[in-house]
Structure 1
Amino acid sequence: MKMLEIKHLSKSFGKTQALKDVSLEVKSGEVLGFIGPNGAGKSTTIRVLLGILKADSGVAKIFGKDVWKEAIEIHKRIAYVPGDVNLWGNLSGGEIIDLFMSLQGTKNKEKRDELIQKFELDPKKKARSYSKGNRQKIALIASLASEADLYIFDEPTSGLDPLMEAVFQEEVAKIKAQGKSILLSSHILSEVERLCDRVAIIRQGVVIEEGTMEELRHLTRFEYSVETNTSPVALREVEGVHDLTINENKATFQADSDKVNEILQTLLPYGVLKLESNPPTLEELFMRHYEGK
């Protein structure tokens, strides 16, 4: 079942076209990582989904409902955390969390108290005294304590230290285990790689790549290191081998995924003692697209 669906979405601000042709979907029980640099169109896409902005053209639906025409109904079942949280300065952190939860219709105080403890938040302090990280914790606690069916996170760990990032990732894993759906926009690629089932990469208002990590890895090269009985000089002649370095009987190189069998056949006569391969990270895939390769 599709919890979120976007087809050929476009949005312009004057002469600036923020979204040109965005299409993506989030299925039930799935975590989709939505990545791209500043200005690529991530936040604009999310604002359209929240019914804050009206798209110029295209289709955007959550729970099968139109995000602009049926925003009120949709908001009853979603939780949203932006990357920059603004709060009411005269209210305490606890009062704001309770306000957010009441607006969403959530009454799980036990979960709220557990999250306040995990995120090490003092709920009695006035919001005006909070740092950026503590303001972020308020929004995260309120959303994670909710009983939403779809969670939309736009740079949710902005301002958090690594320990609190780990707490967030642990809570997202719990939500995922409950079969909930999540759209996660994050600049922390290791976070996306750890949490997400699929990744969509947006560039200049267009989703240029989408798939599981394994599907995306087929598009780029693995890194190999090999140790043989004698120097594997024949690797220099193999098509699909890149950045080859040979030091006596050891070699390191990158290889196209469809050339692995040929490479192994070339190495066998040299007597392979050790062979290691490392798949590309999400960061390498991301940089590949933004270097224009």
Structure 2
Amino acid sequence: MNVIETNNLTKSYGKSRGIADINFSVKEGEIFGFIGPNGAGKSTTIRTLLSLIHPTSGSAKIFNKNVVTHGPEIRKEIGYLPSEVFYYNNMKVIDLLMYSASFYRKDCSKIIKSLADVMNLDLNKKIDDLSFGNKKKVGIIQCLLHEPKLIILDEPTSGLDPLMQQNFFDLLKEANKKGATIFFSSHILSEVQKLCNRVAIIKEGKIIKLEKISTLKENNYKKFKIETQSKPDKNQFNIPGVNKLDVKENTVNFIFKGNINSIIQKISSVNISNIWIDEPNLEEIFMHYYSKED
């Protein structure tokens, strides 16, 4: 079953960039990554899914219900963490969270305390007295307190220190084990690499790649570093499958996609003093996709 399904989802802002013909689906129980730099269309996609803004054309379904016609009903089962959180400054944290919980007509007090303990958040402080990072913790607890079926996160870790990021990831993994589906939007690719099963890469409002994380990193991508005995000729490395070629003095770096035997044969004529072949990380693979011409 697909928890999220889009069909040519489009939001136009006239001359300003929105999103165009977005097509993807997120399966029940999946942790799905949605990555791209700021301004690529991630937040616009999320706001359209949540029916905070309406599409210009195309459609989206969540829980097999149209997001426009069933928006309020759908949102009861969603936990949403926006990239920036804003609250009534004079409220205490506990009062704000209990007020949020009241919308779901269930006792969330134990969950709130448990989440606050994990995130090291003082529930008795006023919102106005919190740092940006602690306000983000309030947003995380507000997102998770009603044990939603679908968790939608937009740049969720900004403001969190590394320890709190790890605690947050542990909470997400725990929620996922209990059956929650997670849509994780970020420009921090190492986070997506740790957490997600599949990923969609968005560029200038359009999906340019939809792939399993494991496939993005499997053996058809290799990172080469070569040291040569004399200054190398860059033309020797203009080989199909070579990307991100960088030649500096006696060192050559590139990412290769293809049959590794073929690249070894083609560089065998180069006078090599040392060679390293590694798995590229997701960021390096992503930059290859993102730097390609349309």
Question: What's the TM-score, normalizing by structure 2?
Answer: 0.84
Task: Verify the 8 A CA contact 1:218 1:257 in the aligned structure 2.
Answer: no
Partner Cα separation in structure 2 for residue 80 and residue 35 of structure 1: 17
Q: Deviations over 1:211-245 (max 9, x none)?
A: 11232346973124699xxxxx9xx6995566689
Partner Cα separation in structure 2 for residue 220 and residue 246 of structure 1: 28
Give the superposition deviation at 1:276: 6.2
Secondary structure of residue in 2 paired with 1:6: strand
Pair 1:275–1:214, CA change in 2 (3 A): farther
Task: Verify the 8 A CA contact 1:40 1:202 in the aligned structure 2.
Answer: yes
Secondary structure of residue in 1 paired with 2:209: strand
Secondary structure of residue in 2 paired with 1:123: coil
Answer with 257-266 or 198-207: which moved more.
257-266
Give the superposition deviation at 1:255: 5.7
Give the superposition deviation at 1:143: 1.8
Q: Which amino acid aligns with 1:83?
A: S
Secondary structure of residue in 1 paired with 2:156: coil
2:213 is aligned to 213
Task: Map 1:94-109; keep pairs closer than 5 Å.
Answer: 94-109=94-109
Q: Deviations over 1:237-269 (max 9, x none)?
A: 99556668998xxx976463422234567999x
- Structure 2: gaps spanning 5 or more residues: 269-273
| 1:223 equivalenced with 2:223 (yes/no) | yes
2:284 is aligned to 284
TM superposition outliers: structure 1 runs of 4+ over 3 Å: 217-221, 224-227, 236-247, 251-257, 261-268, 274-277
Task: Verify the 8 A CA contact 1:108 1:145 in the aligned structure 2.
Answer: yes
Partner Cα separation in structure 2 for residue 67 and residue 256 of structure 1: 42
Task: Verify the 8 A CA contact 2:98 2:108 in the aligned structure 1.
Answer: no
Q: Which amino acid aligns with 1:185?
A: S
Secondary structure of residue in 2 paired with 1:79: strand
Give the superposition deviation at 1:110: 2.6
Task: Map 1:34-183; keep pairs closer than 5 Å.
Answer: 34-183=34-183
**Taking every aligned residue pair, what percent have the same amino acid on both sides?**
38
- Structure 1: gaps spanning 5 or more residues: 228-232, 269-273
Pair 1:73–1:253, CA change in 2 (3 A): same
How many residue pairs get aligned? The number is: 286
Task: Verify the 8 A CA contact 2:237 2:267 in the aligned structure 1.
Answer: no
Pair 1:224–1:110, CA change in 2 (3 A): same
Q: Which amino acid aligns with 1:20?
A: A
Q: Which amino acid aligns with 1:87?
A: Y
Give the superposition deviation at 1:185: 0.8
Pair 1:205–1:253, CA change in 2 (3 A): closer
Question: What's the TM-score, normalizing by structure 1?
Answer: 0.84
Secondary structure of residue in 1 paired with 2:258: helix
Partner Cα separation in structure 2 for residue 31 and residue 182 of structure 1: 5
